[in-house]
Amino acid sequence: MEEINCMTSEEEEDEEEEEDGKEEENVQQDESTVQQPHRPAWAPCVLYTLDKDVYYYAGQRIVISGAFDSFAGMTWPAALALCHYLDTHREQLDLVDKAVLEIGAGTGLVSVVAALLGAWVTATDLPEYLNNLRVNLSRNTRGRCRHTPQAAALSWGYDLESTYPSTVYRYDYVLAADVVYHHDFLDELLASMKHFCRPGSALIWANKIRLGSDLTFIEKFKKALDTSLLYEEGDMKIFMAKCREDEGDGDKCLNIQNPLREEKEANREKEEEEEEEEASVNVVQGNDMNRTEETVTSEADRRNEDLCVEEEERKQTMVPTGGTCEKGHSEDGRGDDPLCCTTSGDNITEHVGHTAAPTWTPTVICSFGKDVYHYVGQDIAIYESIDSFGAVMWPAALALCHFLENNRDTVDLQGKTVLELGAGTGLVTIVASLLGAAVTATDLPDVLNNLRANVMRNTRGRCRQMPQVAALSWGYDLESTYPSTVYRYDYVLAADVVYHHDFLDELLASMKHFCRPGSALIWANKIRLGSDLTFIEKFKKAFDTRLLYEEGDMKIFMAKCRGRD
């Protein structure tokens, strides 16, 4: 039985390689004939997913399949920058026969390129992301590389010596791309970087700077390792780091300590010293410390201001949403040349000829970021922007759209006012509009341009009332910006708004603000983390709730305002 399974797996990979060279229609026809496992009831009846990107590095054609149900299932911009750098700087970074480790490998593009350049690669990520990673590695390196790359599970942390002992797992290069973003494991990431960056090793880290916390991490990164800046273009930076010489022979470089424990020990030592010193010395030290903190804070503020200025200057060079480029193409992207107008990092329509593309952009890239869904008797074309969590199609949106379309007696949207929280790509808003609702789609400002383009493209001329798009940041003070006496809705919709972020309390407060007497909140979510279950308990305590739909980890709730709340 095992031999049969292995043979089937190899045959499937061979079929995938053959399909990559066929026409789109043939691919869709072949995939439709393959026997698929049971699909959830909410899966669209017609769905064309063209989620393969084709890149050219190291003289090879690389096909990367994404997995839009996770952050690690997308190719982020720093991976492209790092691949370009490795491919064009082979003399400075000779990877031939070198042992290479990639942390946070995601879709595996960087590991594939490193393997094609001759390295012995181990690609690591969380266990749930390894299947797609292995498929991409196998598809693009089999028969092409000196060494077959491996995929392994690795969770960042302080105790890696027990699972990855430094005496056994030693690498010439450690690679990382866009591993610093909005998550709660930056200290664990830094500890992991220090663990693998041994004497004789070099860490190459590429990242796009997005948040103030990224700058804070860079400062800690520079203090922990000897660093140099290899490349910089706008917000994109590539660093090289090596183990500090004073830690190379001592225990400090061999034992990665928990920074919280180090901080406590340092504080205790400091307290003992302060008890022995005179009061006047303490005052002087306190003043010096305050001045140091003020200096660090002011420096961080200046850097944030510089980033904001650069961002505003960059936006001024772009065509505003709703306008046209020099070739007369409108924002809906229906011009004759689909490559004329592209979407920038902030989802603002930009003419390719206006602003030069970054040097790390692949010379040839076929990006199929459009999915076509079929709801309410209409084909709905959704464009994604994988440089933002809010611009990716998540599964709860599909489940909610299916529910709204097939349960019109339970949730009648005809002529109703509807607000969507965290609208993302806008699919739920579009379906609600096609069902006759007057919809306002909301999300963070940097997601609105792609959201607005999707909404306009799929509702113009099809709906009784054109949906609106507005910025909304979850919080406790929404009465000042969205007073309840003015902004009242029959239904509030939300899909996959609960995931790994730090604003769950603000989200719940926003739900309570808009779910007024006479309103109903419909929330769909896929349960992934323990924090999701905690939020559900708080959600049930805050509202009168009932479960409308459940299939596996997918749940859809309806909630109404409690009594006099």
State the pairing for strand pair 47-49/370-375.
antiparallel
The pLDDT of residue 212: 86
The pLDDT of residue 66: 74
d(CA 124, CA 102): 6
Half-sphere exposure of 349 (CA within 13 A, CB side): 26
In whole angstroms, how far apart are CA 40 and each of 179, 370, 398, 438?
32, 22, 10, 29
Q: Along the 565 residues of the chain, how does pLDDT read in single tens digits?
A: 333 333 444 444 555 555 555 444 444 444 444 445 566 777 665 444 445 788 889 999 999 887 655 567 778 889 999 999 999 999 999 999 999 999 999 999 999 999 999 999 999 999 888 888 999 999 999 999 989 999 999 999 999 999 999 989 999 999 999 999 877 889 999 999 999 999 999 999 999 998 888 899 999 999 999 999 999 998 899 999 999 876 544 334 334 344 444 554 555 566 666 655 554 444 444 555 444 444 444 454 555 445 444 444 444 333 333 333 433 333 333 333 333 333 333 333 333 334 566 766 554 444 445 788 889 999 998 887 654 555 677 889 999 999 999 999 999 999 999 999 999 999 999 999 999 999 999 999 888 888 998 999 999 999 988 999 999 999 999 999 999 999 999 999 999 999 877 899 999 999 999 999 999 999 999 998 888 999 999 999 999 999 999 998 999 999 999 865 5
Residue closest to 512 by CA, chosen among 383, 421, 429: 421
The pLDDT of residue 16: 52
Dmax over CA atoms of the chain, in Å, equals 83
The pLDDT of residue 174: 98
Q: Specify the 3-state DSSP secondary structure of 174.
A: strand
Residue type, 165: P
Does residue 466 contact residue 472 with C-beta atoms inside 8 Å? no
What does the domain layout of the chain look like in residue ranges?
56-257, 261-314, 382-561
The pLDDT of residue 347: 35
Same fold: 56-257 with 382-561 = yes
d(CA 274, CA 103): 42
The verdict on pTM exceeding 0.85 is: no
The pLDDT of residue 418: 97
* The domain over range 382-561 is classified in CATH as 3.40.50.150: yes
Considering the domain delimited by 56-257, tell me its CATH architecture: 3-Layer(aba) Sandwich (3.40)
The pLDDT of residue 8: 40
d(CA 182, CA 209): 11
